[in-house]
Structure 1
Amino acid sequence: MSDDGHDEKAGIEGHVDFAPITPDVHDINVFIDEMDAQLEAAGGLETSMFNIKFRDPRHFTWLLVAFASMGGLLSGLDQSLISGANLFLPKDLGLDPRQNSLVNSGMPLGAVGGALLLSPANEYCGRKWAIIISILLYTVGAALEAGAINFGMIVAGRVILGLGVGLEGGTVPVYVAETVERRIRGNLVSLYQFNIALGEVLGYAIAAIFLKVPGNWRFILGSSLLFSTIMFAGMLFLPESPRWYMHKGRILDSYKVWKRIRGTESPESREEFYIMANSVKQEDVVVNEGAKNSRFPWMDFFTVPRARRALVYANIMILLGQLTGVNAIMYYMSVLMNQIGFDDEKATYMSLVGGGSLLIGTIPAIFLMETCGRRFWAITMLPGFFVGLVLIGIAYHIPIDTHLQAAEGLYLSGLIIYMMFFGSYACLTWVVPSEVYPTYLRSYGMTTSDALLFLASFVVTYNFTAMEDAMTRTGLTLGFYGGIAFIGEIYQIFFMPETKDKTLEEIDAVFSRPTREIVSENWAGVKETVGDLCSLRFRKVFQGQMQRRKSVHDTPVA
């Protein structure tokens, strides 16, 4: 029998005692030299058509991120393509409103199943092949929905496509987070959300292109096959995650990939590989010695405080991103534009405004996420949701018969603000889950986060029409979605820790601290920041926020 204090102690002893955060330079060099010797004895780096190597490893990083993040493009395409198809598909297939709701929500429903495939696919196939499997599922689903001749076929296509989206949605952010350097990890994982937004804009543009073509919705839905084919071809040339190899005990394979994509010339790269190798090794020892949970590691989410905190934190961030209604708005964008007074053609074109705003909103996150930090970013962005939702809610009360321009102008203003702030905030819903789980639980954790994301998306999307009828448009947007945003802001102020500028292994220490310590630290920081702002010490506030940690090698060693 153990009390809470004992559990905390056990959790800290079991999951924080990793390699030193600032290891000895000599130890790092000896370890890297040993790995180089093993690599040379094994015949050196393999070179072939599918084992490419760049002279500058940074180029490989960008290639890897570009192709892997195309998964976000596919996800975004689906949201906007189905929005454009919604104007024509129900009539052609004879769907009633409830059937059409299921067609729209079929993708997130299938994505829940895809998320459940995430753990076995990632554990046994690896990150790379899990992504490739997801592309194949997406391609089959897209082909089925484009050729659908009845309700059953279109739903089957949507669900299968969703399986692919769910699997890649939880795998790509982890794959990117495990391969890029800590200084730009948040920025590059944010590219996934940028690609989602880019896919949404492309989808609306494609819908506009095929608007007047006979059988338009089939061309609209089938257009995503081009992008899935490009991503499939690109993924064949990318390597497996070095941390996955390390997790599987394949240290030399991990080093081969590391040398190819990161190189070992820079002191920081050598340091990070050393820390990764030692922390994974010690983590494996803890798991193997933790008798009762060694067969079922996912039980640690209930029994180990560090893992439990990560699970709760990551999934609350997921819910804040979904229950504020963005996916329902994206799926029904063209219909909502109809409701506010635009005809079918204008509704399709004006949907580009919402998608474009989302795309623009993700750009600051790509460049500033790692500089400003996750906590500052979240607390700053979420209130923007609320402002946008207030304007949308007010717009619904303006009669379109007599004040059409005022209603449309206010609605579009609210939509632009909402989408821009959400674009910046949504990056966190991919960055946070991809980095907070321990290595041995990362695929299990991403399964829960990914499943919850798409389950919440399904619930919000499927019930959107019914909730709008029951709560009125203003009640839904301002009351429900706005209320969730308000509650979320309070949660973030008190409970959200900062993880910027840390390696994945160092983040383990953050979540091994008792929650009360995190809350106390956050509250002290809030009081200090408010005091500085009230005293007009703006420079102090923002300079402190922009500080970056240096590597131990950035300063000369005596």
Structure 2
Amino acid sequence: MASIPEKDPHWMAPEFTKPGQDFEHDDHVNLHEDVDTLIAQMETEIEAAGPQKDMFAINFKDPKHFTYFLVVFASMGGLLSGLDQSLISGANLYLPKDLGLDSKQSSLVNAGMPLGAVIGAFLISPCNEYLGRRISILIACVLYTVGAALCAGAIDFPMLVVARLILGSGVGLEGGTVPVYVAETVERRLRGNLVSLYQLMIALGEVLGYAVGAIFLGLPGNWRYILGSSVVFSTIMGIGTLYVPESPRWLMHKGDYLNAFRVWKRIRGTATRESREEFYEMKSSLEFEVLQVQEGRTKRFPWMDLFTNPRARRALVYANMMIFLGQFTGINAVMYFMSVLMGSIGFDDTQANYMSLVGGGALLLGTIPAVFYMELCGRRFWALAMLPGFFTGLILVGVSYNFDPAVDTVLVQGLYLTGLVIYMAFFGCYATLTWVVPSEVYPTYLRSYGMTVSSAWMFLSSFIVTYNFTGMFQAFTGIGLCLGFYGGIAVVGWFYQLLFMPETKNKTLEEIDLIFERPTMVIVKENIKNSRATCKDLLRGRFRKVATETQRVV
């Protein structure tokens, strides 16, 4: 098979040429010819190789339908993740009494899943790199099933902690794999929306978890049914994952161009010019990355490029700062202790379980706009518009702790629930970015390693916030923790995003490479310039332009 020229510039989209440099007509003609030549060559090789036998391979007449099929099943990982995060909330009302757990043991049981997810995150690189995205998701389903079954049958504290660690390992592995799988398979104009679907499924899973807690509320040993219920969902996801293909970018990364093209035809087709050119871009970019590695980078330890390669290092810092802002504003601590917090403002155990649906429902509803409009509005809009919103919610939640729930019950519950709904709704939109950003910013040959770092950091942050929540709540008081600590991080984070956050909407993964090739100060200067222009648009009432312009977002 003929190789793409080593320094062929034609795979770059016109908007990513250097300032003052334009593509000539001949360049476009040559690009189209190169693309058509490659596609014709791949078609010839597939015909010569004959049909591929795969008992799980299914085909749709319209490749778009197949794309939606695989995204739904892959995103069920989000449903499982959310389900297992919120199930513990209902179980917290009964589990400590049944097993005789003290407050520290109860905190460790709650934090066991995010701690196990850190372990699972370190499985991302070896599993994704050597086994592929599809097998990694299947392994995660097995860990989910085993962990949930052990939770349901736990007879003492050590067994329950081990079960939560195993369950968390599944969360960590699929949390770093599913968003990457979706980002690598869908077309660029839908990537942000469909990766956001993962967060929507997490939110849906959290609501479902609270509902499951309410269903089993009156049964003896109800926490066992609550924690064991996720076995059903992990089994369904495991069966569904058997029918989705491997990521074409991973196959190409491994040098299997023929099967990469087979999968590409199934999930994207080759009828449109955009699909044909993206396949060409993908192959050209990956071959160029291989050449770079061969010419000077460490082949034995490629993950070192995350720290030594400026382009990869910028992506590493950017992705993990977004995760920090998502986790250290308190979301998982609030989710895990939702029922307990409801009890602290005057609800009994039964009411607390049902009222937890309010917070989970707000998170779910808040996620929906991002799923539909992530690519229309862009990453910067969601980041900069959502942080002030959930900061407002944190203010109301914090203020509610200044009143005595025994005396001012209605006032406390009104302030707390209003603040909680605002916080959850705005965070629902923001949380999508903690999956979208890491899944798209790393170069292909480092994506598995980058997602290992990002996922490990995400779940380690969740563990830190969750495990220390009770102690921090007592030390800071409610208003100090919600408004001072979580709210303070939100304010500082807003200014960080204003200056350092580039826009990546509607770009292929290969075009995003070029964004991060630029020095950080170039991005900062561009953001400052665009923010000034956006301020003028806001003052003139051009709100639609602010929400939809690619770069010009405050």
Shorter-chain TM-score range: over 0.9
Paired residues of 1:15 and 1:286 also in contact (CA < 8 A): no
AA paired with 2:11? A
Aligned to 2:332: 327
Give, in whole Å, the separation in 2 of the partners of 1:106 and 1:313: 27
Cα 1:285/1:546, change in 2 over 3 Å: closer
2:507 counterpart SS class: coil
Of 371, 374, 382, 2:379 maps to 374
For residue 411 of structure 1, what is the amino acid of its counterpart?
A: Y
What is the aligned counterpart of 1:129 among 129, 135, 142? 135
Shift of 1:304: 1.1
Q: Aligned residue for 1:541?
A: 546
C-alpha contact (below 8 Å) 1:18/1:278 kept by paired residues = no
Aligned with 1:63 (options 51, 69, 72): 69
| Candidates 458, 461, 466, aligned match of 2:471 | 466
**Distance (Å, rounded) in 1 between the aligned partners of 2:541 and 2:418:** 31
The match for 1:36 among 28, 31, 43 is 43
After superposing the two structures, state which structure 1 stretch, 502-511 or 18-27, moved more.
18-27
Compared with structure 1, are the counterparts of its residues 17 and 93 closer, same or farther at alpha carbon in structure 2 (3 Å cutoff)? farther
Q: Sequence identity of aligned pairs in percent? A: 66
Contact 2:503 2:551 in 1 (8 A): no
CA contact (8 A) 1:242 1:258 kept: yes
- Kindly indicate whether residue 480 of structure 2 is the aligned counterpart of residue 480 of structure 1: no
Answering whether residue 25 of structure 2 is matched by residue 19 of structure 1, we say no
* Equivalence for 2:277: 271
Match status 1:300 vs 2:305: yes
Aligned equivalents of 2:544, 2:248: Cα separation in 1: 40
- CA contact under 8 A between 2:12 and 2:511: conserved in structure 1? no
Query: What does 1:106-125 align with in structure 2 at a 5 Å threshold?
Result: 106-125=112-131
Deviation at 1:402, TM superposition (A): 2.0
Which letter does structure 2 place at the counterpart of 1:43? G
1:359 aligns with one of 359, 364, 367? 364
Distance 1:438 1:295 in 2: 17
Q: 1:154 to 1:543 in 2, by over 3 A?
A: closer
1:54 — aligned with what? 60
Give the number of equivalent residue pairs: 532
User: What does residue 282 of structure 1 align with?
Assistant: 288
Where does residue 261 of structure 2 map in the other structure?
Answer: 255
RMSD after superposition? 1.5
Deviations 1:165-212 (A, max 9, x none): 000000000000000000000000001000000000000000001001
Which residue number corresponds to residue 215 of structure 1? 221
One-letter code of the match for 1:503? T
* Unpaired segments ≥5 residues, structure 1: 1-13, 548-558
Q: Where does residue 145 of structure 2 map in the other structure? A: 139
- Provide, for residues 40-69 of structure 1, a one-character-per-residue CA deviation record: whole Å limited to 9, x for no partner: 00114x354301111111111011001100
Amino acid at match of 2:13: I
Q: Report what 1:158 is aligned to.
A: 164
| Equivalent residue letter for 1:414 | G
- 1:87 is aligned to 93
Partner of 1:246: 252
Residues in 2 aligned to 1:421 and 1:392: alpha-carbon distance in whole angstroms: 14
Does structure 1 conserve the Cα–Cα contact (< 8 Å) formed by 2:370 and 2:429?
yes
In the TM superposition, what is the alpha-carbon distance from 1:294 to its structure 2 partner? 2.1
Letter in 2 for 1:34: Q
Deviates more, 1:299-308 or 1:185-194: 299-308
C-alpha separation between the residues in 2 aligned to 1:538 and 1:433?
28
Once the two structures are superposed, the pairs formed by residues 388-427 of structure 1 within 5 Å of their partners are 388-427=393-432
Does the 8 Å CA contact 1:18/1:283 hold for their aligned counterparts?
Answer: no
Question: CA 1:540/1:352 → structure 2, altered by over 3 Å: closer, same or farther?
Answer: closer
**1 CA distance for matches of 2:122 and 2:242?**
24
How big is the shift at 1:536?
3.2
Distance 1:238 1:441 in 2: 23
CA distance in 2, matches of 1:267, 1:145: 51
CA contact (8 A) 1:71 1:169 kept: yes
Counterparts in 2 of 1:125 and 1:15: CA distance versus 1, 3 Å: farther
Corresponding residue for 1:11? none
Q: 1:497 aligns with which of 496, 502, 521?
A: 502
Instruction: Kindly provide the CA deviation profile for residues 342-365 of structure 1, in whole angstroms up to 9, marking residues without a partner as x.
Output: 100000000000000000011000
d(CA) in 1 for partners of 2:80, 2:376: 28
Q: Hey, what's the Cα distance between the residues in 1 that align with 2:43 and 2:348?
A: 66
TM-score, length-scaled by structure 2? 0.94
Deviation of the 1:295 alpha carbon? 1.6
Q: 1:295 to 1:16 in 2, by over 3 A?
A: farther
Give the structure 2 partner of residue 199 of structure 1: 205
Counterpart in the other structure of 1:181: 187
Q: For the residues of structure 2 that align with 1:541 and 1:441, how far apart are their CA atoms? A: 34
CA offset at residue 539 of structure 1?
A: 5.0
**How has the CA–CA distance of structure 1 residues 543 and 145 changed in structure 2, closer, same or farther, with 3 Å as cutoff?**
closer
TM-score using structure 1 length: 0.93
Contact conserved, 2:505 with 2:550, CA < 8 A, in 1?
no
Query: Among residues 61, 64, 74, which one is paired with 2:80 in the alignment?
Result: 74
For 2:20, the equivalent position in structure 1 comes to none
SS at match of 2:521: helix
Equivalent residue for 2:445?
440
Instruction: Judge conservation of contact 2:388–2:491 (CA < 8 Å) in 1.
Output: yes
Q: Report the alpha carbon displacement of residue 271 of structure 1 after superposing the two structures with TM.
A: 0.9
Give the aligned partner of residue 5 of structure 1.
Answer: none
Which moves more between the two structures, 98-107 or 298-307? Answer: 298-307
d(CA) in 1 for partners of 2:122 and 2:352? 36
Q: Distance in 2 between matches of 1:198 and 1:15?
A: 46
CA distance in 2, matches of 1:357, 1:49: 42
Matched to 2:516, the amino acid is F
Q: Is the 8 A contact 2:11 2:284 kept in 1?
A: yes
Instruction: Compute the displacement of 1:225 (Å).
Output: 0.4
1:120 maps to amino acid: P
Separation (CA, whole Å) in 2 of partners of 1:315 and 1:361: 23
| Structure-2 separation of matches of 1:138 and 1:267 | 41
| Displacement of 1:30 | 1.1
